[in-house]
Amino acid sequence: MRFLFEDESFSFETLRAAGFADYGGADLGEVVATARNIGEGDEEAWLREWKATAERVHGIGSRALAAGHRVSAREALLRASNYYRTAEFYRRDDPANDPEAKGLSALSRETFAAAAALMDTPVEAVAIPYEGTHLPGYLFLVDDSGARRPTVLFTSGFDSTLEEAYFAVAAAALRRGYNVLAYDGPGQGAVLREQHLVFRPDWEAVVTPVVDYALTRPEIAADGLVLFGYSLGGYLAARAAAHEHRLAALVLDDGLYNYREAHDRFLPPFLREWIEAGRDDLVEPVMGLFMQVSTQVRWALRNGVWTFGAASVADYIRRTADYTLDGVARLIDCPTLVLDAENDQFFRGQPQEVQAALTCPHTLVTLPEAEGAGEHCHMGAMFRLHQVAFDWLDTTLAGAARPAS
C-alpha cells in the first residue's frame, strides 16, 4: 500500500499518523496538508512540516483550554502529541543528544499529559518500580467506580512511545470495559531518552515488575491480566509470557519469532558472513551505501544502534540474535492470539513460526491487504484490528474453549 508517498517508509509513517484519527490522534485534512509539502525521502522537510503542524494544532489546543473549551482542547492536544512524535521520527543522527529530537519528544509527552487531564475517563500517570528506578506509565480506567476489571498490560515496540499507547490500544479497550496499564520499558520512549536504558531480550525482567505493580491496584482484576505486544513487542511480550504465568491471555500484534532472522532476510550472504566474523571494517562502508538509497534501512539501522546501545550497525545486528523464541515459545501457557499482516515484508512468515512453536491454546489471524489491514501492525485499519483482538479476548476471558487453529 502506498499512502501519499511512493517512499515506502514515508508512506507507512504517514499512514501510521493518519490511522490514529480513529481515536482522535489525527485529522485527515491536516495529514494531507502536511504531507503535500514534503518531498519524497526529504527528512528535513518531514521534520519541518510535521513540526509546523504540531505547533499550530498545539496552539489551537492551548487557546481552547484558556477559553474553557475542554473538549476542543483535548482533541487538539491529542493530535499535537501524535504530530510531534511523527515530526522527530527520522531524527536519528544523534538522537540522545540532539536538542531538536529531545525537544519534540518532550512536547509529545507534554501535550499528551495535558490531554489526558481533560479525558472523560480517569487517567493516572504512574511510576512502576523497576531495578532501582521506575518505568513511567499511564493507567487508563474505564470509570471511577473502583470496580475490578480485566486489564491490558501494553508493551510497545522498536520505536513506539508510551503516549502512542492510547491510540494503539487504550481507547479501544476502554470502550469495551477493559482498563489499560501502558508503560515505557528499556529502549522505549522516556526510559530511553531520560534514563538511557536500552532494550534487553529477557523482557520477563520488565513485565514481572509491571504485573507486580498491577496487582497492587484495586481496580485491576488479578485473574484478568492480558499482555498485549505491539510490533517488536510481539517478541517482547511472548518472551515475558513464557516466564510470567500470572497472565490470563496474550495478544501478539504481530507475532515475531526471531528478530535476527527478520534482518538476515534482507542481507546478502557475504554481509551476514562479515557480520558474524566481526569484520565491521568491511560491513560499515557497505551498510553506509545501503542506507543512502533506502529511507527505511537508514532509519531502522540508526534507530537500532541507539535503542540497543550498540557501537555500530554490525554490532546492532549481532545483538538482535538474542531476541528469539527458540526453546521459549513452548513455555507460554496462557491462551494466545497471534496476529499476522499479509503485506508486512519485515515480519513475513514470523507469525506462522510463532504459531508452530506454541503448545498453549492459540489462534492465528491473518488480516489481508484487501481489507486495508495488511500493513505492519495493521496501520490504517485500527478498528478492524481492535474488533479481532477484543472479540477474541471477550470470548477467551469468558472461559469459552479456544482450540488451536
Residues 6+ apart with CB under 8 A from 220: 148, 149, 151, 179, 181, 214
What is the radius of gyration, based on Cα positions, of the chain?
20
Q: Please report the pLDDT score of residue 400 as a whole number.
A: 41
Q: Which three cell numbers stand for residue 2?
A: 502506498
Burial of 93 (0-12, 13-18, 19+ CB in 10 A): exposed
Alpha carbon distance 390, 191 (integer Å): 29
CA-angle at 386, arms to 325 and 138, nearest 5°: 75
Cβ atoms 138, 210 nearer than 8 A? no
* Digitized pLDDT (tens) for each residue of the chain, 405 residues in all: 899 999 999 999 999 999 999 999 999 999 999 999 999 999 999 999 999 999 999 999 999 999 999 999 999 999 999 999 999 999 999 999 999 999 999 999 999 999 999 999 999 999 999 999 999 999 999 999 999 999 999 999 999 999 999 999 999 999 999 999 999 999 999 999 999 999 999 999 999 999 999 999 999 999 999 999 999 999 999 999 999 999 999 999 999 999 999 998 888 899 999 999 999 999 999 999 888 889 999 999 999 999 999 999 999 999 999 999 999 999 999 999 999 999 998 899 999 999 999 999 999 999 999 999 999 999 999 999 999 999 999 999 997 443 333
- Which one from 105, 156, 160, 231 is the annotated catalytic residue? 231
Number of neighbours of residue 122 by Cβ within 10 angstroms: 16
Residue 356 in contact with residue 307, Cβ under 8 Å? no
Calculate helix-pair angle for 70-87, 8-19, nearest 10 degrees.
160
Which grid coordinates are listed for 235? 517478541
Q: Say if CB 243 and CB 331 are below 8 A apart.
A: yes
CA dihedral 174, 202, 364, 254 (to 10 degrees): 60
Q: Are strands 220-230 and 249-253 parallel, antiparallel or unpaired?
A: parallel
The predicted structure's pLDDT at residue 285: 93
pLDDT of residue 261: 93
Place of cell 476489571: 149
- End-to-end, the C-alpha distance of the chain in Å comes to 28
Q: Domains plus CATH for the chain?
A: 1-120 (1.20.1440.110), 121-258+323-405 (3.40.50.1820), 261-321 (no CATH)
Q: How far is CA 156 from the centre of its chain?
A: 4
pLDDT for 403: 37
Q: How many CA atoms lie within 13 A of 179 on its CB side?
A: 27
Active site residue 160: no
Residue 112's pLDDT is 98
Cα-based distances in Å from 59 to 26, 74, 81, 88, 347:
15, 12, 12, 19, 39
3-class SS of residue 249? strand
Contact 334, 250 (CB under 8 A): yes
**Amino acid, single-letter form, for residue 188:** Q
Chain centroid to CA 32: how far?
A: 23
C-alpha cell at 334: 496462557
> Quick one: which of 245, 237, 204, 246 has its CA closest to 337?
237
